[in-house]
Amino acid sequence: MSAPYTDPAVSPARAAQRPHGWLPEQASDNRLALAAMTDGFLALLIGIALSQKVFHATDGVATFLATFIPCVLAASFVNHVFGTLLLRGSVAKLLFGMRVLRWKDGRRPRFWQTLGRWLFGFVVIVFQFVLEGASVGQACGLRTVRRRDERVAVPQ
């Protein structure tokens, strides 16, 4: 059994007041959507830069797409999987004051959870209109929360 979630910014006395497994609420859908759009735009910019500077894809559209698409996917993978493992959130999530944690105990995400969440994100993006607004806010056992909500004391 894992220990209850503890945040270094919260004193041990305040953390002891929280019930076992206490977690903040999920970040709002608007905040998550803004972060997703920002991360997507960042991946596109990095993909263009990599495909032009590193691979010199100037021989036509087919060559450009053959280098651009893997570069965008690699940038997205590094941002969402390794960024979440190391920094507890992608670049946009950190910019907008959010972090990703396990929804069961509030601890750091595991590699397979972040990888599954990244892959699940593509499925949701493809079927976004069919699913009518579903998000990856709490997919694969992870939850995106606002950082400041982690520091709120539990009501007495």
Q: What is the pLDDT of residues 81-112, one digit of tens each?
A: 999 999 989 999 999 988 888 888 888 899 99
Among 60, 55, 94, 88, smallest CA distance to 74 is for 55
Is 2 within the bounds of a domain?
no
Residues in a beta bridge with 142:
102
Over residues 12-33, the pLDDT tens digits come to 555 444 444 567 777 777 888 8
| pLDDT band with cut points at 50, 70 and 90 for residue 138 | low
Q: What is the pLDDT of residue 4?
A: 46
Is 10 within the bounds of a domain?
no
Q: What is the pLDDT of residue 73?
A: 93
Q: What is the pLDDT of residue 64?
A: 80
How many domains does the chain fold into? 1
C-alpha neighbours within 13 Å on the C-beta side of residue 32: 18
| pLDDT band with cut points at 50, 70 and 90 for residue 71 | very high
| pLDDT band with cut points at 50, 70 and 90 for residue 145 | confident
Domain boundaries, position 45:
29-140
Q: What is the pLDDT of residue 28?
A: 76
| 19-23, 39-43, 59-63, range with the lowest pLDDT | 19-23
Is 35 within the bounds of a domain?
yes
Is 146 within the bounds of a domain?
no
Is 153 within the bounds of a domain?
no
Is 147 within the bounds of a domain?
no
Among 88, 44, 42, smallest CA distance to 69 is for 44
DSSP characters over 17-50: HSPTT--PPPPPHHHHHHHHHHHHHHHHHHHHHH
Is 129 within the bounds of a domain?
yes
**pTM beyond cutoff 0.75:** no
Q: At a CB cut-off of 8 Å and minimum separation 6, what does 59 contact?
A: none
Q: What is the pLDDT of residue 82?
A: 95
Is 23 within the bounds of a domain?
no
Q: Classify 87 as helix, strand or coil.
A: helix
